[in-house]
Chain A
């Protein structure tokens, strides 16, 4: 099989190029089906006899449910059943556990706690009949006082969660009020207060990160199908964590886990919205068991925005101290976290405020304290990580605002203040005051590269000139330079301290090499647009020497994929990517034994060379991976089992810490509140880069979600708990028209503990982008005395800021 003529052997570089492995901007294998309308999303799933279920939802934010009359609904043509809490109670399914240690009503049990809450589930022959049925369900409510402000909720006599014993501890310790969920603390409070009280300079500010929503273009949904003959339940759904859904479904329903198959088909974006378990899934499963027919539930957009998985809503009271020359000495954050009616965050169990204590950011801060109070209000439940690792974007926004406020207090340039306090390259691995071990970084290099790229000094000069021109009345526009240097914490996470519902947050990959040298690999994660089928094949190509084009990646079917915790929190590359590399190495280790046998040398006398094993010192003697794969299946090799397969479950030793430097240059019209993003420069360091094209795409997308959040997107309520932003008319998603072009750049500091050094990137641009946009708005008004104003910075709020600063004469 070997051609030994030297001239015919392609060079290692040529052979590596053919693999399309790590570092290649490989075109995506997913695109052929998506561009031709042949994707398979959950609403495309059509099963014989399938029914359609939909919810009667509460119009009130807080009310007692006096009665539910379903008689008229059941008479509507096409309506087959109407489920209420009374129907679910005998099955103990009228409530369900949340991922955060709380419980949540599946259907209203005596009262409703937020507008849009699920009250009854109508099952009908099609979605039109279901809508007719919903109209005919008669629910009698008695309105109760509404609490939408978390600070007032902690003072109020109105008890929202009457199901909880006010004296008993919650899932995360003592509760200090009936509407209090937990107090979660980290760091040294006494020492921090001591330093703050004695400091040269202290800046204090309330930083609010408003409530928003991930709003993927595809809403949540599922198709549940019970096969009563073989006792098997199949659920297709928009699940970011299909294995977790299977385990939860088994625990809730009592159906043994091997009889449940959960399938995540193509998912139309997730961004954290599709991590949790929603009442729709439970009701569809109950409905298929009751009717014996498949039942589909698909949210409409209003359901999605009103009821499933909001994000943020953190009131962060910060104090930061420094010496006169700008060396930071302490940081304190006291957070009031509005969780809505049920604590349905999707955080690792031991972290009720997620990884918010990454809030010392990129800075070497000697002492710090964080205290987070979780509070119930009459708003939708959630608190999911919207395109960020758990509460990391809140943390990054907090510290990057506090740095700006401190710069004002010190009368210092904010870029200089950052550089003065960065953790230095030789301090890594660095343990923060709040207990994280940062794996690697070179912040000064990245920062200097960014400032040079945008001509930072030139920008400041131009800005100062514009302020003078404004004061002379020559222009009505101001220029803002929004700086951000962020450090993320992703890749949850080590099983010793990270779990979801008791499931350790490892991930997995299983590889089978076929006799002819192609392969299939299955993972515990699930792509929602990240291009896993493209990039994980690249990792394997480099590890095993099999071309990426000859490797099929499969995810999302719990009957075939190994157990994994799914895709969110930028964990796929750090955890499943590591599992993939490790499984590839197991393949290679066996391949080495086979190659040595075939070449009649000792195992140690062959070495891996791109796509083959060669005899050391005799490169003309080799066996390609293709040769080896065939031999694995057709030769009896002493001491070696036939076949070429491997599986790896990877428990990461640490998180990864991607970082980046962003600069946003914005021009603001003081009289209209309109803004123009003149330039946005984004430098990301995500460690080893697997596919630069996909990284750049992720950065563009994440920055646009950041633009949305910072500049207009919010879930807003009126004082009686009406959700004012329930459609895309009111909820801001930027169009191509409002979105700027971005300049992307990078440095590359590999993670020392990850098998290939990759850190993950999908969420960095959202985490870093929000403060960059917001800081630009703040910076534009710095010369006129603005310290802190709240997002989102829509045209009205910018105009109001200018007005309040007296800039309208």
Chain B
């Protein structure tokens, strides 16, 4: 199979890799770039464990070919924290017990990160609708919603204080 050379930006650094045209983005991230935060849960785009941020949109990396991501700007859970420490969402999920087994958590937080960029002050309904592409088997979502609400409030307060 002819390899394709693909260059993309992952968590701020430029990566060039040789891939088969059929290689899925999730496998490239996990196996070639050793970014194992995003997980595989269903291979059919239902569970969202593989969610990454790609050019400012939430994308399920288990159903996208790596060659489709050529030139893209990708952020994974490993790139969400800043050098100063954890992202507000990461702190908030811990504070409000928004995770249990942790398997869905990277996808969940990466999705919530984009949701709050798109809608900085979501209602509970907005959050439940906006997070419906990410499945969790442990928490029943109640504390995930709470974690995201609290993170939004904290981010907005910080924003106001800065202005």
Contacts and interface: CB of A to CB of B under 8 A. Distances in A.
Interface of A: 27-28, 30-39, 41, 43-44, 46, 127-128, 215-219, 266-269, 271, 300-302, 528-531, 693-694, 696-698, 700-705, 727-729, 733, 735-737, 739, 741-742
A217 B37 contact: no
A736 B128 contact: yes
Contacts of A128: 20, 22-23
Given A218-B39, A694-B97, A735 B132 contact: yes
A28 B100 CA distance: 9
Nearest to A34: B102
B144 A736 contact: yes
Interface in B49-65: 49
Contacts of B131: 735-736
B9 to A, nearest CB: 18
Contacts of B93: 31, 35
B49 A217 contact: yes
Given A35-B105, A268-B103, A27 B95 contact: yes
B86 A35 contact: yes
Given A31-B94, A694-B97, A736-B128, A36 B102 contact: no
A697 B146 CA distance: 12
Given A37-B78, A700-B142, A215 B128 contact: no
Contacts of A30: 102
Contacts of B80: 36
Contacts of B77: 36-37
A32 B135 CA distance: 21
Nearest to B145: A736
A301 B140 contact: no
B75 to A, nearest CB: 11
A269 B101 contact: yes
B94 A742 contact: no
Contact of A41 (B27, B31, B39, B95): B39
Given A301-B42, A737-B132, A742-B142, A37 B100 contact: no
The 3 closest A-B pairs by CB, nearest first: A37-B37, A268-B103, A529-B101
Nearest to B77: A37
A679 to B, nearest CB: 14
Given A27-B95, A36-B81, A44 B42 contact: no
A750 B47 CA distance: 39
Interface string B141-160: 11111000000000000000
Interface in B99-156: 99-106, 109, 127-129, 131-145
A34 B78 contact: no
B36 interface: yes
A256 to B, nearest CB: 33
Interface residues of B, number: 60
A269 B76 contact: no
A742 B103 contact: no
A218 B37 contact: no
A531 B99 CA distance: 10
B43 interface: yes
B99 A34 contact: yes
Contact of B109 (A35, A43, A219, A266): A35
18 contacts: A30-B102, A35-B105, A36-B37, A37-B36, A127-B27, A128-B23, A215-B137, A217-B47, A529-B138, A531-B100, A700-B139, A704-B140, A727-B42, A733-B135, A735-B133, A735-B135, A736-B128, A742-B142
Contact of B86 (A27, A36, A41): A36
Nearest to A27: B94
A38 B81 CA distance: 12
Given A693-B97, A700-B143, 15 more contacts: A35-B93, A35-B105, A37-B106, A38-B37, A43-B36, A127-B27, A128-B20, A217-B101, A269-B101, A529-B102, A696-B97, A698-B100, A733-B137, A735-B141, A737-B129
A30 B103 CA distance: 12
A32 B136 CA distance: 18
A736 B35 contact: no
B38 interface: yes
B2 interface: no
Contacts of A269: 100-101, 103, 137-138
A697 B145 CA distance: 13
B54 to A, nearest CB: 16
Contacts of B46: 727-729, 733
A697 B100 contact: yes
Nearest to A35: B90
Contact of B105 (A34, A219, A704): A34
Contacts of A46: 31, 34
A739 B137 CA distance: 12
B43 A701 contact: no
Contacts of A127: 27
Contacts of B128: 735-737, 739
A779 B25 CA distance: 49
B128 to A, nearest CB: 4
Contacts of A703: 140
Interface in B64-85: 76-78, 80-81
Contacts of A267: 101
A405 to B, nearest CB: 29
B13 interface: no
Given A41-B39, A735-B135, A36 B44 contact: no
Nearest to B49: A217
A301 B36 CA distance: 18
B90 A268 contact: no
Contacts of A696: 97
A27 B136 CA distance: 20
Contacts of A705: 137
B10 interface: no
Nearest to B128: A736
A736 B132 contact: yes
Contacts of A700: 139-143
Question: Most chain-A Cβ atoms within 10 A of its Cβ — which of B78, B100, B133?
Answer: B100
Question: Most chain-B Cβ atoms within 10 A of its Cβ — which of A35, A36, A271, A696?
Answer: A35
Given A736-B141, A742-B140, A266 B81 contact: no
Given A39-B102, A217-B136, A701-B100, A736 B94 contact: no
Nearest to B136: A217
A36 B78 contact: yes
Contacts of A266: 101-102
A33 B93 CA distance: 12
Contacts of A530: 100
A710 to B, nearest CB: 14
Contacts of A271: 137
Contacts of B31: 46
A380 B22 CA distance: 31
Contact of B137 (A35, A44, A217): A217
Nearest to B146: A741
